[in-house]
Structure 1
């Protein structure tokens, strides 16, 4: 989780602010940094750090104290939840959450540090709305029967298939909205996979997008 009032940085951001390549920064400063600055999201693959603490380290200033772990903190609607945390809240798994976002059952969320996050209030709204995946008549305001956003995921998919659908949806959206093209490097960072695997995933998503049926206007 990224607390709404506590900005965070990933190691790639910290290296960039230090004016170094990530591998150089890790080799020269990574061990010392990690010994002094705790992660804000223990147990997750992408390590995130309190921005104020990280910048104090970079500038050689005293490190601000970490909020006590046992200090009571009320959940805030604008806290950002990771894919794994959303999965836990919805009682499913991470690959299904990605499928939900790709099919419109869940909003796309916000991309930060190469990962996707959802505001707590969005997840709570999904919970409060109940399971509408198999009840197309209960559409949201302004949605007509047959709207693709009303379609339900067809059950659990493999992580690879979920990623493929997600990347294909992102490619289509980028093309329609004139956004920068998605690269293999983007996917390698997003899914923590090798560049070679990311290239294959990107090629497969492009092929799937080309084979998708076109709607005549």
Structure 2
């Protein structure tokens, strides 16, 4: 989460501010930095840091204390995982909803998409509750059974069988089909009630 009104930086941003390539910065300063400056979003792959604290570290100034525990604000920016927990769905569904327009497209920051808490709360509380209707559940069969189409060629092939022995090649030539289709028609004509 990026708290409302808070500037954030990634380790790439901090390395750039230090004038070093990110891999060099991580090797030289990464461990010390992480020990002194707390991450804003623990457990996330993309680590975000408070910009004021990170800038103070880069300048060699005393690191200011982190603001008190941030209260939930409607303008907070949430990641896809955090948005998913607000809506009670999966993170991939959040991204799909944003792509189809069911959710706002989100805001791009640090190479990621973030959603404003206000819009997620509005979607959660709206009358259109798509995210509460998961559709057909896995393992549940459809309401209607499989439709069986009758192929008139099967009936004709059954009539030909009554007249005498018919080969697959004759069926293939008669109906202008391949060998496999001719075999299927011939097998079906043997079990046909008309034959």
Q: TM-score, normalised by structure 2?
A: 0.64
Q: CA deviation at 1:68?
A: 4.0
Deviates more, 1:3-12 or 1:60-69: 60-69
Partner of 1:43: 43
Rounded to whole Å, the distance in 1 between the matches of 2:118 and 2:85 is 15
Aligned length: 136
Residue 31 of structure 2 aligns with which residue?
31
Distance 1:155 1:128 in 2: 23
User: Which structure has the larger Rg?
Assistant: 2
Cα 1:154–1:100 shift into 2, 3 Å:
farther
Paired residues of 1:105 and 1:133 also in contact (CA < 8 A):
no
Where does residue 129 of structure 1 map in the other structure?
Answer: 126
Quick one: distance in 1 between partners of 2:10 and 2:101?
A: 28
The answer for unaligned runs of 5 or more in structure 2 is 138-195
Change over 3 Å in CA distance of 1:33–1:26 after alignment to 2: same
Which of 114, 117, 122 pairs up with 1:120?
A: 117
1:87, 1:94 within 8 Å by CA — same for their partners in 2? yes
| Ranges in structure 1 where 5+ consecutive residues have no aligned partner | 135-151, 157-217
In 1, distance between residues paired with 2:31 and 2:2? 23
RMSD: 2.2
1:17 aligned residue: 17
Distance in 2 between residues matched to 1:18 and 1:130, nearest whole Å? 50
| TM-score normalised by the chain length of structure 1 | 0.58
- Other-structure match for 2:65: 65
Aligned twin of 1:2: 2
Q: Distance in 1 between matches of 2:136 and 2:23?
A: 40
- Tell me the residue number matched to 1:54: 54
Over 6 Å off, 4+ runs: 152-156
Rounded Cα–Cα distance in structure 2 between residues aligned with 1:24 and 1:80: 30
3-state SS, counterpart of residue 57 of structure 1: helix
Q: Relative to structure 1, is the Cα distance of residues 153 and 11 closer, same or farther in structure 2, using a 3 angstrom cutoff?
A: farther
